[in-house]
Amino acid sequence: MKYAITDKCVGCYACQLVCPSQAVYADPDVNGRFHIHSRRCTGCEDHYDAPQCASICPIEEAIVNEMNLPVNPQGSLTGIISPGAAL
Amino acid sequence: MERQSMPSTTQHAATRPADQVRHLLPKDIQQQIATHPCYSKQAHQYARMHLPVAPACNIQCHYCNRKYDCSNESRPGVVSRLMDSDGALKQFRSIKRRAPNLTVVGIAGPGDALANSQATFATLKKIRMEDPQAQLCISTNGLMLEHYASELAAAGVHHLTVTINCIDPAIGEQIYPWVYYDHKRLRGRAAAERLIQNQLAGLEAAAAAGMLVKVNTVLIPGINDHHIEQVSQEVRRRGALMHNIMPLISAAEHGTFFGIRGQRGPSASELEAARAISSQYMPQMTHCQQCRADAVGTLGGGCGQSEEPVVEHSYKVAVAGNGEALIQTHFGHAKRFEIYRFDKQQQQFIYLETRQVAQYCSGTHACPDDDSDKQLIIDAVADCQTVLCARMGIAPWRALEKLGVTPNVDFAFQPITEALASIAARIATPLTPGGNHEVCHY
Ligand code: SF4
Ligand code: SF4
Ligand code: SF4
């Protein structure tokens, strides 16, 4: 499984610091946005049980899997579920 | 933007524990903290600077919204400009040149210093090479403290702050929803257990390594307010030197879990009561306010937001610029302002702090459009008497005058020092001395 970063990302660098494959890079054009290099990302399968980027990312819906589903859906990290959110 | 203000009560409480600090601390430690404005109330003529080199965090606190800076160390809702260690060194040099009283250099975020260990250690080393006298300090949530304690001591870190809100995992799980440790995201009780265990072991290791450790505790009514005595006893036993009990900040618009749930912060008397309990075991640090990860300045004007409920009697000048020695920046293009305050004793301006215009972006403004940009620039200098810049448009000119701020372009392309000297000569009327505007930081 490969992962990608969405525009929810706040650019906190955490995923970049923990990625074992140096697959995370800062967007050269958009300040505070990060991306995952799809060819470099191994899904961490060879290293860890869980994708490291998604295990430390503090922002819900910032990291998605190949099916474009958020690894950390709304409410899963902060406990905050906004009333208007379609879940 | 809301900010803690419990002016009178805390000020009262402050006198008592400050005396205790003197009684309780051995002489050599008194000397070590004598020039650190956050540890010693007597040190307020010294300036300190926080370098925002640590963006990532490895835990989540329910009083924090990670879209903003760490609210352990920073006023929530204010995003700092990030720096790398080279940028930090450059910033240090340029401030040090103008503020020889800069004694303390800290790393406190905007995330956790030790979750960004590479950037943190690289910065510490560069600052220490540049100025072996600088006192280095670190703030951390403590998750990685045991791991790095000896490395920190070896890097010359003297002062360390660790935020410990509770020592009971049953309480901890109501404060920390998750912790990233050993390549896993832990949740619930397991997360709190891990964090608390590491914090206490880290505190002990840091104290054993010779660092002066202060513990911060965020007072959260109904969650850890009945637990302060246990925390205080335990951290004291592990070697903490001081306790700083801080009120929870939980305005709903900060978007934190506590804010949205309507968790209230403590009243002034609740805070005072908690500090009184803790003061049986440890000196209290009460002359302190949460401040941003990139704060620069002295105690009197340190955090320096224009909405600060501080009565300033002093004359302040804001200089638009980007660190140049000449006044050459157009007001509307200013990214930052250097603030100088007139010192009555010396009859001259002394450097107080640097304000990033972006910091005045407080979430309540709809940020990125042009109009609010201009408003942000104006907000950044609203408490100053004079603004020096190379040029200024007529609209901001009028807006500033309305606020009682006098724009001045007479010194365009002249050295800042000369402009300040000439204004100082003009205003050399004695002002009310002293004024108790103590607003501190870590
Ligand atoms: S899944 Fe693993 S390899 Fe891929 S980007 Fe995330 S941390 Fe890096
Ligand atoms: S951890 Fe999440 S929010 Fe932080 S940079 Fe990575 S994707 Fe963005
Ligand atoms: S340690 Fe600081 S940055 Fe990390 S979650 Fe807590 S308050 Fe936020």
Residue B35 is predicted with a pLDDT of: 59
Least confident of A8-12, B43-47, B123-127, B412-416: B43-47
Backbone angles phi, psi at B72, to 5 degrees: -65, -40
**B180 reaches A (C-beta below 8 A):** yes
Pick the residue of B182, B184, B261 with the most A CBs within 10 A to test the interface with A by mutation.
Answer: B184
Separation of B356 CA from ligand 2 center, angstroms?
Answer: 24
- What's the pTM value of the predicted model, to 2 decimals? 0.67
Q: Which amino acid is at B385?
A: Q
Establish whether residue B141 lines the binding site of ligand 3, counting it when its CB lies within 6 angstroms of any ligand atom: yes
Please name the residues between 64 and 83 in chain B that touch chain A, using a CB distance below 8 Å. Answer: 66-67
pLDDT digits (tens, 9 = 90+) for B302-356: 333 222 223 335 788 999 987 778 888 888 888 888 888 888 777 788 888 888 8
Strands (E) located in B274-377: 296-298, 316-321, 336-343, 348-356
Please state the ipTM of this predicted complex.
Answer: 0.93
Find chain B residues with C-beta within 8 A of A7's C-beta: none
pLDDT digits (tens, 9 = 90+) for A4-62: 999 999 889 999 999 999 999 998 888 888 999 999 999 999 889 999 999 999 999 99
Find chain B residues with C-beta within 8 A of A80's C-beta: 255, 257, 260
CA distances from B211 to B32, B164, B236 (A): 11, 17, 14
Q: Would you give the DSSP letter of residue B31?
A: H
Separation of A62 CA from ligand 2 center, angstroms?
Answer: 7
Q: What is the distance in angstroms between the Cα of A73 and the nearest Cα belonging to chain B?
A: 14
pLDDT average, residue stretch B418-432: 72
Nearest CB partner across the interface for A77, out of B56, B177, B183: B177
Residue B20 is predicted with a pLDDT of: 43
CA B9 to chain CA centroid, Å, is 21
Residue B286's pLDDT band (cuts 50, 70, 90) = low
Find chain A residues with C-beta within 8 A of B109's C-beta: none
Residue A56 is predicted with a pLDDT of: 97
Residue B297's pLDDT band (cuts 50, 70, 90) = very low
Burial of residue B190 (CB within 10 Å: 0-12, 13-18, 19+) is middle
**B181 reaches A (C-beta below 8 A):** no
Nearest CB partner across the interface for B60, out of A13, A52, A78: A78
Separation of B109 CA from ligand 3 center, angstroms?
Answer: 9
The closest of B184, B142, B188, B143 to B169, measured between CA atoms, is B188
What atom in ligand 2 is closest to the CA of residue B56? Answer: 4
Residue nearest to atom 1 of ligand 1 (CA): A43
pLDDT beyond 60 at B360? no
pLDDT digits (tens, 9 = 90+) for B157-199: 989 999 999 999 999 999 999 999 999 999 999 999 999 999 9
pLDDT beyond 50 at B413? yes
Residue B82 is predicted with a pLDDT of: 77
Pick the residue of B183, B187, B254, B335 with the most A CBs within 10 A to test the interface with A by mutation.
Answer: B183
Backbone angles phi, psi at B217, to 5 degrees: -130, 125
> In this predicted model, which residue has the larger pLDDT, B367 or B145?
B145
The closest of B276, B206, B277, B218 to B244, measured between CA atoms, is B218
Separation of B72 CA from ligand 1 center, angstroms?
Answer: 29
Residue nearest to atom 8 of ligand 3 (CA): B70
Residue B369 is predicted with a pLDDT of: 44
pLDDT beyond 80 at B436? no
pLDDT beyond 50 at B144? yes
What whole-number distance in Å separates Cα of residue A77 and Cα of residue B52?
A: 25
Q: Of B142-151, B283-292, B385-394, give the range with the top mean pLDDT.
A: B142-151
Average pLDDT, chain B: 77
What whole-number distance in Å separates Cα of residue B297 and Cα of residue B45?
A: 10
* Residues whose CB falls within 8 Å of the CB of residue B280, separated by 6 or more in sequence, listed in order: B229, B232
Residue nearest to atom 2 of ligand 1 (CA): A44
Backbone angles phi, psi at B54, to 5 degrees: -120, 85
What atom in ligand 3 is closest to the CA of residue B66? Answer: 8
pLDDT beyond 50 at B301? no
Please tell me the number of the ligand nearest to residue A57's CA: 2
Residue B56's pLDDT band (cuts 50, 70, 90) = very high
pLDDT beyond 60 at B38? no
Please name the residues between 188 and 247 in chain B that touch chain A, using a CB distance below 8 Å. Answer: none
**B115:A50 CB<8 A:** no
Residue of A7, A27, A34 best suited for mutating to test ligand 2, as the one with most atoms within 8 Å of CB: A34
